[in-house]
Each structure stands twice: as C-alpha cells, then as structure tokens.
Chain A
C-alpha cells in the first residue's frame, strides 16, 4: 500500500477528486494548508500599503491505495491539478506498513 499525499491549488481539488473517483478511489482526506515551494509568494499592495504573501493557501489531499494502482493515481492527480504555471504543487508517494479499519479492527492487506 502507498500513501499518496498531494499539495495542489485550492481550485483544483474538485478536478482531482473527480479524477480519483474515475479510478474508483473513494476515501480521501482533504486539508487546508499554507506553504510555499518554488513559488515564493509575492508582495501585494493595497491602498499604498505593502504586505507580503509568503505562505500561499494550498490544499493537501491524502489517499491510501494499493501498490498496483499507485502509478495511475499519481498520473491522474498530476493531470488534473496541472496548469503549467509555477505553484501547481507536488505529489509525494510514501510506503504504508499496516492499515486497520477502526470499526471492525480488521487489518487490511
């Protein structure tokens, strides 16, 4: 099993969700996050006053999938979340050692 953690633009969440649904990935966790990568934020000016927007609002989407479909999921996320501009985000793939269903206590393989 793999944990696929992606940081995407806030307005791309719905498209990513739709893409994952097509792959029959049902469960996911979505979190509002702030951060920056290469896109370091910018200086905005409002009524003569400058303020720095260093941490940009992003969405983090986490899904756990079987090893066999991990590559397809990553491709789907990248396709759905891409605009081609700086600030499109990142996808991380992490190994998952064990997973349990809390309701039944059953271990998933």
Chain B
C-alpha cells in the first residue's frame, strides 16, 4: 500500500462526510429531529460494522455496543459517539490490534468517540464508582459482533440491585444537574441538553419507565404524544445549534436564537417576534418534559427484588405477565413488603387472586431456595401478620397450605374463642410478632426468651398449623399433627426441625394445662413436665407458643395472672432441666434406651449401645437424635484408658461441632476449653457429660471467628492433634495460651453485664450446682474452668448456652466425689467473681 492519500480520502471519511451532509440538509429544512437522527445513527452503525468486518479478528468473541444517546439512536451532528467494546475473554495482543483497527480510522476522521473497553467478567460486580457509565448502559444496543455475548452482558447487567442503584444515581445526578440551573427550566439562554426539562430529562424519564414500569408514562398527567413532540422539538433545536455552530454546542445563547428561529421557520416580521415564538415553544415543551419527569420519579416503583418494585401502593410486580406465570416469585412480594415495612399493592394481590387456582402447593416453593425463603419469611417481624392476612385474603395462603384452607372462616362454638379458627391462628402469629419488639415491662421476660431462639420461624410454622385439625370437632391437636406432616414433607423439613414442629403442634395445649390446672408448686409436677419436654429449647418454644395461643383466644383471656402462672412454670421447669438432670441417669432397662434399639445400624450392637449409655444423664437421650447418638457410640469404640477420640465437623451457619470422648481425668474440661481458646474459637453452646462409670463425652459448638479452619487446609487435623495432646498431658495448654493471654484477659468488647456467680447444694442430691452468667468473650470458659480446677473441684456435667452477648453456664461439681462444703463454695465463688470482674 502506498497510503490511503494516494487513492483519495479514506473510506471512513467518505462515509462520515456523506452521513453528515445528509443530516445537515435535513437540519437546513428544519427537520433535524428524531427521524433524521435515527437515520444518521444508522449510517454510523453501518460504518462501524464495516470497520469491524475489516479489522483483524479478535481471538475472543467481541461485541460493539452503542450506549447513551447513540444507543437510543439520537446521535446529533457533533455529539460524542459513546461505544462499549465488549470482549468475551481476556484482552491480549490480538484484541488490541482489533481496537486499533476500529478506533484509529474514527479518530482520523475527526469523530469524537467516547469508548469504554471491558471484559464480560467485569460486569459480574457493579461498577459503583461510575454511575454515568451505568446509566449509559441502560440504552445499550448491539451494533456489530457477537449477539450471544451481548445477550450474556444484558442478563448480567439487568438485575434488581443494579436497577435500584442506577435509579438512585439517576435521581442524585438529576438533582445536582438541576441545582446548577437554580432548579428552574425558565432560562433565557437554556441548555437544551442539561437544563431542567431538556433532553437529559427526557432520557431520564424514559430510563425510569424502562427500569420500573414501562406503562408509567401512559398513566401520568402528560399525554405521551405531547412528550414525544417535546422530545422531537428539543432534538431539532439541538441539531440546529450543532449545524450553525459546527460544534457540540448545546446552549441556546442569545447569539444563536435569531438564526435558529429563522432556520426553524418561525414567522414574524421582526427578529424579536420570531425569537419570542421560538422561546415560548421551547418553554412549552420543556414544561411537558419537566412534568413527565417529576411524575415518573414520584410514582415509579423502586426495584426491590426480582420483578418487584416498591411504589406508593406498596410492593408490586414490575412485569405482571411474567409474575402470573411464576408463582414461585409471589412470596417474594410479601417478603419484600415486610422488609420495606409496607404492604403488597392491590394490583399484585388481584393478580395473585386471579391466577392462584391454576397452581398446586408445590408450585409456590418448587426448589430449596424458595423453601428456605418461606421459612425466613416466617421469622417474627413487624408486618408478618398483615402480610399473612393479605396472603390469606387473596387465596394464596390456602393454596400454599391446603391444610390451612380447611379452617378458613371455620366457626367453633365455645365459651372462650372470639374469632374464627383461621383468624385466631393468624392472631397468634401477630402476638409473637408484637412480642419481638415489646417494651411492656411484664412482657420483656417473654421477649428475651423469643430473642434466645435459634429458629423462631419453627414456632410460627407450628402456630400456623396448630389448629388446622379443627375442621373436625374432636381431638384437633392429633388431627393437626397428622395434617402438618404433609406440609412439612412438602417443605422438605426433616430431622430435628420437623420433630420439633410436630411436637409443638401435638402438645400445644399441654403447657397451659399444667400451668393453669395443676399444682405447679409440687416439685413432682414440675419434674414430670420437665421430663416430658426434654430440652430448654423445646420448653422455650412451647412456652411462647402457649403465650401467643392463649392471648389470641380473646382480648381478655391472657390475664396478667395467667402470664404469671405460665412464667413460673417456665422458670421452674427451666431450672429443673438445667440444674437437676444430673440425678437422673440412663438405665438400660428404661424406655429411652429401648426406643433406640430397633433403629440400630448393622455396625452397632445392643451391647455396645448399652455400654456407652449406661450412667449418662437421661437428658443425653433428649438432647441428641438417634443418628448423633450412633456417631457418639462409634467415637467411643475401642477407647483405652489414655485414649482421646475426637471428631470435628462443620455445620450450618459457620458453626462447628466438636465431640470428645475420653476417660475422666483432672482438669480435662479446662484443657479442652483452653485448646479451643488458643485457636480463637468462640464457644456458643455445649454439654459436658460424665457417666457414673467415668466415661466423658463433651460436645461443643463454636464459631471459628479467626477463620483458622477455613484458611488452613490442615486446620482440622491440627486442632484435633493439639486436643489429643493437651488432654493426654503432652502439650502445655497454659504455655499455648501465653501469647493470647493478654487478648483473652482483656477482651476488645467491653463487658456490659456484671458477672453473676451462684452456687447451690439443694437443686441436686449429688452435685453442687454452679450457675454463672457473664459477658460472652473468647476464653471465658477456659478462665472459669481453670479456677474450678485450681480449687480441686471435678467438673462432672456442664451446660453451656449463650443468649445474645450473655454466656450462661451451669456446672455440676464435686470434690472428692461429694458436694462442696459451704466454705469451699464461698472460696470458689469469690475467686470466680474476682476473675470475672477483672476481665470486665
């Protein structure tokens, strides 16, 4: 080649000149509006396609995308050409060659190109620092290259959170822009692009509609045809300005107003008259745009989730046609309404009502994600009752749970109930919801119990189903349980969660019966109830369920008197469960043991099970399910005198479970706590059991706050090894903790609760019960257990719980096989009190 000059001007220049000449001619005729600009944009498209065809091939897919005004096909004579060059993979030499071949001819031809070069992967995260670019991408349009790549970009870019961010940015940018014009569109020398009511507001209005409700402009005070006219007018003025000034000039200065008026053919004998006509047309059109923009901004739903928007009417579906076809998305509207503290819009409720009968229960939660979302939705939170009522009213609740439909408007005549069964049910949930934020002094104690539950949604689920059996006239709790089994199976709720919900439903009348009709001052009644209920967490759940259920019977049913009776039963049972369980031991001739035998896996024998369980507290059988007990039995297999068997497993929510089986030895508990602390583990819950025969089973649940197990591939093996060494006395725990001692003794988060230390020889016949409540910090248990060991006391049983930032630990202690003397108790508690105060 001898250079393009030899053959005349390059092709690019020719094509561009041709396109510009054509547009100038349109402008000269006063018709440089939308139609002309679209044609001009098409010409530029053709030019770019040609350049892409001629450019060396990129090694990865590439798409040339028009953005901003060019994306809308409103490219003006001297506007920047905004382009996104999108690559489907990493940009290397070949891609750079492609870019040069594309961009250099454009630059040489004098086109101002605003190009952004990106790899598709960059759109996986939102580019928050460049809101203008994100806004321009809303108008993205494929000009040349890979359609499939563009489609992937499109779906990666258009998500609810991106839309929400773009809208928020759009409003901020518009406010800033309007402020520079003193917030008025009536400018004597208006900027036809940036001023209030000018072209940028036209685009903003369209963006709001596109991202929220495409029909919004039709609903507003402005006739859409007038809005279109206004846009066309503003584009014609801008085109004329570009043509007359030969540059990207957008301010309609006095200097140009006369010539523009002439060019656009305004009549009048005097130039002043023609200018006045031009300007009054300008203000008329700008006002139309301004009103439309404000309306759209005021009424547009804010995207709050997939296909969901929040507007003045509440949460609605952005695309109703899509929503009608996707029943699995409906719960999202109610979840968003709870989160946004609003309702679900009438339109959305009508849509669901209209289509709900087409679907079966499973269609509303077809996959694990939707089932998990349903359970999350049921957590007691402000607005839950209102949303459930909306779901019930539009027929969704009864379709999701046909079992619930059976009690819809069901009237049961008795002397107590004031509402239909379905409403009574929903009111129980409202009671729990209100409890979660109550400040009523007498109810704060119940609120704290609620705050303590790991899975409060299970109580709500149990409440929702507790009376479904009332479609029949007798024994409704048994029928409710039977019906609930179907619901829980559809929700794929298994294991302990399933057992708990069924237990709560089956026995929802039990606690009120005992609290109000039995002599709860009789320790035997409390013992029986504690044995029936088994664990603190079930007790807490049943207590709250009873409280909510009684209160929903009528406004007067739950008197302060009944609340007091219920609370006393709760406290006495709680204390029994946590302090007296050491006296009740497993005897292989008892029921709890026999229940386990039929389900024994082939590798476990009855003898092995019996040997393991004998002499452990009966509570053990209530705390763990059969599967876990089998694991513990295997862990204890072939345990010799000096052996330590350890298992460490990851569970849900970053909680690890450690089980240790060994023979009892001095300071064992303290060693284990010390090792966990030395790795920075935060112990949440736990149980330490010693059988009467000296077998020790300790189970801890903890979080790995320093991510030791996550960051070290051999972390589990190391923790296990150190534990075994420490328990066997091969590792000096105190030494390991030296480096951490300062951190442990001076925790970062200052304690908020004065520590409470109490000891008691009355609760149990065999043990001294030591009750400790203190601020939960890493190393707390180690500090406590070290003091206990230093006083020569043996830790027989421990129960570890946390309630928010409080740690609640109950130790069963002996010294020399007997309860501690009065003097020993005083010495120990004083020492503990001092240790805990020091670390406050």
Interface residues of chain A, those whose CB is within 8 Å of chain B, are 9-12, 14, 32-34, 44-49, 53, 57, 83, 85, 87
Contact = CB atoms under 8 A, between A and B. Distances in A.
B562 A32 contact: yes
A11 B571 contact: no
B561 A32 contact: yes
A10 B799 CA distance: 34
B808 A46 contact: no
B808 A48 contact: yes
B720 interface: no
Contacts of A57: 561, 564-565
Given A9-B519, A53-B568, A83-B519, A45 B575 contact: yes
B634 interface: no
B758 A45 contact: yes
A57 B806 CA distance: 31
Contacts of B758: 45, 48
A18 B607 CA distance: 52
A11 B8 CA distance: 110
Contacts of A49: 756, 773
Interface string B424-465: 000000000000000000000100000000000000000000
Best-buried of B521, B773, B808 by chain A (most CB within 10 Å): B521
Best-buried of B445, B518, B561, B574 by chain A (most CB within 10 Å): B561
Given A14-B517, A49-B756, 8 more contacts: A10-B517, A11-B518, A11-B520, A32-B562, A47-B773, A48-B758, A57-B564, A83-B519
Interface of B: 445, 516-521, 559, 561-562, 564-565, 568, 571-572, 574-575, 756, 758, 771-773, 803, 806, 808
Contacts of B561: 32-34, 57
A45 B517 CA distance: 23
B519 A11 contact: yes
A100 B519 CA distance: 37
Given A46-B571, A53-B568, A32 B808 contact: no
Nearest 6 CB-CB pairs, A to B?
A48-B773, A48-B756, A32-B561, A11-B519, A46-B571, A11-B518
A10 B516 CA distance: 7
Contacts of A46: 445, 571, 574-575
Given A10-B565, A53-B568, A57-B565, A48 B771 contact: yes
Given A11-B517, A83-B519, A44 B571 contact: yes
Contacts of A34: 561, 564
A24 B806 CA distance: 57
A48 B571 contact: no
Contacts of B772: 48
Contacts of A32: 559, 561-562
A49 B755 CA distance: 11
Best-buried of A45, A47, A49 by chain B (most CB within 10 Å): A47
B565 A47 contact: no
Given A32-B559, A57-B561, A47 B808 contact: yes
Contacts of B568: 44, 53
A11 B565 CA distance: 11
A87 B521 CA distance: 10
Contacts of B445: 46
Nearest to A59: B561
A34 B571 CA distance: 19
A51 to B, nearest CB: 9
B434 to A, nearest CB: 23
A11 B521 CA distance: 10
Contacts of A14: 517
Nearest to A87: B521
A91 to B, nearest CB: 18
25 contacts: A9-B519, A9-B521, A10-B517, A11-B516, A11-B517, A11-B518, A11-B520, A12-B519, A14-B517, A32-B562, A44-B571, A44-B572, A45-B575, A45-B758, A46-B445, A46-B571, A47-B803, A47-B806, A47-B808, A48-B756, A48-B771, A48-B772, A48-B808, A53-B568, A57-B561
A2 to B, nearest CB: 27
A85 B521 CA distance: 10
A64 B754 CA distance: 55
Nearest to B517: A11
Nearest to A86: B521
Contacts of A87: 521
Nearest to B756: A48
B8 to A, nearest CB: 93
B837 to A, nearest CB: 15
A52 B559 CA distance: 19
Contacts of B562: 32
A80 B749 CA distance: 58
